[in-house]
Copies of this chain bind each other. A is one copy, B any other.
Amino acid sequence: MNSPQIDLRAIIKQEGLRYTQQREAVWLELQSSDSHRDAENIYFALRQKSINISRATVYRTIEILVKNNLVRKLDLGDGKNRYESKWGLTHHDHLICTKCGRIEEFFHEGIEEMQKEIAAQYNFTLTNHVHQLIGLCENCRADEA
């Protein structure tokens, strides 16, 4: 939507990489909405905007963004990875409707703490976690009746 609030160019260069049109385009596209999009979606969105890019480059660029903590990779269980920009967002986990695909975001401080306790109990060093609540959203539950 607006100009990038993060100096991607600086981050890219700091990594010893080149700041290309494609890399900027993928980053801007990911920032342009707060939804959970797959690589194909990013690819088509860019082509629609007459931006020349290949699938391979979309995947490669996303990987760079993920490694630099600018983008989060999600496995929502439907066989393809989803991505969301981390810019301006705090950590959260997801509620997923299996019928319509609706995704809600939640955060629960208590659960976050308990995860740390559990990891400590098992002598695990926690680096990440996956927590998804699967079910039917309000609308879809009504449809079931």
Given that A75-B75, A129-B132, A132-B129 are contacting pairs, would A114 and B122 also be in contact in the complex, using a CB cutoff of 8 Å? no
Given that A110-B114, A114-B111, A118-B106 are contacting pairs, would A134 and B125 also be in contact in the complex, using a CB cutoff of 8 Å? no
B128 touches A131 (CB 8 A): no
**How many residues of A sit at the interface, in one of the four size bands?**
20 to 34
Q: Cβ of A25 < 8 Å from any Cβ of B?
A: no
Chain B contacts of A127 at CB under 8 A?
98, 134-136
Chain B contacts of A126 at CB under 8 A?
133-135
| Residue among A126, A128, A133, A137 having the largest count of chain B Cβ atoms under 10 Å | A133
**Interface, chain A (partner B; CB < 8 A):** 75, 77, 95, 97-98, 104, 106, 108, 110-111, 114-115, 118-119, 121-138, 141
Given that A124-B95, A124-B97, A141-B125 are contacting pairs, would A118 and B133 also be in contact in the complex, using a CB cutoff of 8 Å? yes
